[in-house]
Amino acid sequence: MRNRLLKFRSLVFLSSIAYVLSAAPIAVAQQSAGEKTTIQFWHYFGGDHIKTMKEFIAEFEAQNPDIKVEPVFQGRPNELSQKLQSSFATTPANNPAIATVYENWTSDYVAKGLMDPVENYFDGTDGLSKEEQADFVATFREANTWNGKWTTMPFNKSIYVLYVNMDRLKKAGFTTAPRTLSELKEAVIKCTERDGARVKTYGIGVNPQSEAFTTLYYAAGGEYLDAQNNPIFANPTGEAVLNFWRELQFPTKHLYVTTDYMDAPFGNEMIAMFIYSSASFPYNERSVKNKFEWAVAPIPAMEGKEPRYLMQGTNIGIFKNRPENERKAAWKFLKFLTSPKNCVTWATRTGYMPIRYSMLKDPRMIEYMEKNPRYAVAANLVVSNKGKQEPSLAVWEGIRQDLSRMVDDVLNRNADPKKVLEETQKKTAERLQRAQGEKK
C-alpha cells in the first residue's frame, strides 16, 4: 500500500512539473533577419471548407512573404481537443500557434494561462480600431471575452432554426410556419399522418440531446445561470419545455426520435419539421432535391417571452507559449481571415453565419442572400443580435451530457419533467462547485 502511495505521489509530482513546463513560454533562438516565420494552424475543416481555407492561406502568404501558415487537420472537434491537451502536456509543449476552439475549451485554457488574448494586438501596427471592433456581432464579442478581455476571434458560426416542409404544413391547414410554442404543438399533431397503427409521417423529428431542450428554452427566454453562475433552469419555463416534448410523445407518438441527422428523413418526408443548426442547409438541399417546398423559420417562442436562438461554432485563438514572432504572425493571419472581404467569401461558400455587421452591405452577400432566402432568415437573426451562446465554462461539456440524458429520459422513458430537471440542476451545481474548488 505504501509503495502504491509513493508511486502515486511521484506521478502527481511529475504531472505537475509537466504542466508548469507546458504552460511556460517555449525557449527558442531569436529569429534571424530575413528568416521566414512559420506558424501551425490546427483545425477540423474538411471538403470545400479546407479548400477555401487554403485559398485564404495562399493569398495571405503572397501578401506576407515572410510568413508561412501550415494548416494541420486534426480530425473531428473532440479529436482536435484531445490533441491540443496532449500538445500542452508534453515537455517541451508542441502546440500550434493558433487553433479552432470552442468556448468551453477556451475557458480551460484561460484558467491555465495558455491564451494570448487577441485584444493585446488591437493597438499595434496591425491593430483593430474601435470601429472595426464594433463591427463584430455583439453576441460573438461577448462570447469571445474572458475576464473582461477579448480573447479569441469568432469564425465559423451557425444558428439553430426550424426546418419546415411547407407542403405538409399547408396540407394540415397552415399558411405560415408556426411562430409560438402552442402553434408548433398544433402543427406537429396535425402534420402527423398514420396508416392504421403505423406512422407514415411524424410531425417533427427530434434528437434526444441537450439541444432539444436548449433551443426551446432559449426561445422561451430561459437562462441557465444567474449572475453568480448558479444554475437556475429547474423552473416553470424549463418544465414547460420538457412537458411540450413529453406530451407529443406520450401516450400518442408524434415525434421521430433518433440520434441520426435529420436531413434524410426530412427529404424522405418521414418528418414534416425539425430543429437544427443552419449548418444543415446544404444537406437539406441535396436531400429534398425540389421534391417539395421547404422553408426555415425562427424557432417558435413561448407566448409573452423575448426569444433568443442558440448559436454554436468555433472561434480561433492564439496560444501564449509560442515565440513572440509566431504570435504576431498568427494575429496578422487572424486579422486577415476575419476581414469583411474574407468573411463574406467564407460565408457565401460554406453557409456559415455572418460574424460582422458590415458583411450585409457587401454586394456579394446581398446577392447571396437574395438567391438564398433561407440563409437570409438565419443571417438576419444573427445580425439582429438575437443569437445566444451556451455558457462559456470549462465544465459545460459535462453539463451538456447531463442535459442530454435528461432529454433522453423524457423522450424515451416518459420521465417526469419536474423531477429530472431538479436532478439535472443538482448535478450541474455539483459540477460547478467541483470546478470552483479545483481553481482554489
DSSP states of 203-229? SEEE-SSHHHHHHHHHHTT--SB-TTS
Residue among 436, 183, 149 at smallest CA distance from 317 = 149
Phi/psi-derived region of residue 47, left when phi > 0, alpha when psi is between -120 and 50, beta in every other case: left
Q: pLDDT tens digits for 254-304?
A: 999 999 999 999 999 999 999 999 999 999 999 999 999 999 999 999 999
Task: Assign 439 a pLDDT band (cuts: 50, 70, 90).
Answer: low
DSSP element (H, E) containing 60: helix 47-63
Task: Assign 436 a pLDDT band (cuts: 50, 70, 90).
Answer: confident
pLDDT of residue 284: 94
**Separation CA 204–CA 253 (nearest Å):** 10
Q: Is the pLDDT of residue 108 over 70?
A: yes
C-alpha cell at position 173: 391547414
pLDDT of residue 34: 66
More confidently predicted of 426 and 10: 426
Residue among 347, 268, 331, 333 at smallest CA distance from 49 = 347
Per-residue pLDDT averaged across 68-72, rounded? 98
pLDDT of residue 440: 55
Is the torsion defined by CA of 141, 142, 146, 152 positive or negative?
negative
**Separation CA 196–CA 182 (nearest Å):** 27
Q: Which domains, ranges and CATH numbers included, belong to the chain? A: 32-157+312-378 (3.40.190.10), 159-311+391-439 (3.40.190.10)
Q: Is the pLDDT of residue 245 over 60?
A: yes
Pairing of β 387-389 and β 309-318: parallel
pLDDT of residue 33: 55
Q: Is the pLDDT of residue 384 over 60?
A: yes
pLDDT of residue 257: 98
Is the torsion defined by CA of 130, 132, 138, 140 positive or negative?
negative
pLDDT of residue 18: 39
**Separation CA 340–CA 348 (nearest Å):** 12
Task: Assign 437 a pLDDT band (cuts: 50, 70, 90).
Answer: confident
- Residue 26, classed as helix, strand or coil, is coil
pTM of the model: 0.89
**Separation CA 213–CA 220 (nearest Å):** 11
More confidently predicted of 237 and 4: 237
Share of the chain above pLDDT 70, in %: 92
Per-residue pLDDT averaged across 180-185, rounded? 97
pLDDT of residue 8: 34
C-alpha cell at position 424: 439535472
Q: Is the pLDDT of residue 23 over 60?
A: no
pLDDT of residue 189: 98
pLDDT of residue 24: 38
pLDDT of residue 1: 38
Residue 160: phi and psi, rounded to 5, are -85, 135
Q: Residue-wise over 391-413: b if at least 16 C-beta within 10 A, else e?
A: bbbbbbebbbebbbbbbbbbbee
Q: Is the pLDDT of residue 360 over 60?
A: yes
Residue type at 42? W
Residue type at 39? I
- Residue 46, classed as helix, strand or coil, is coil
Per-residue pLDDT averaged across 322-326, rounded? 97
Cell 434526444, residue? Answer: 208
**Separation CA 304–CA 195 (nearest Å):** 37
Q: Is the pLDDT of residue 46 over 50?
A: yes
If you average pLDDT over every residue of the chain, what do you get? Answer: 92
Answer whether the bond into residue 92 is a cis peptide, omega within 30°.
Answer: yes
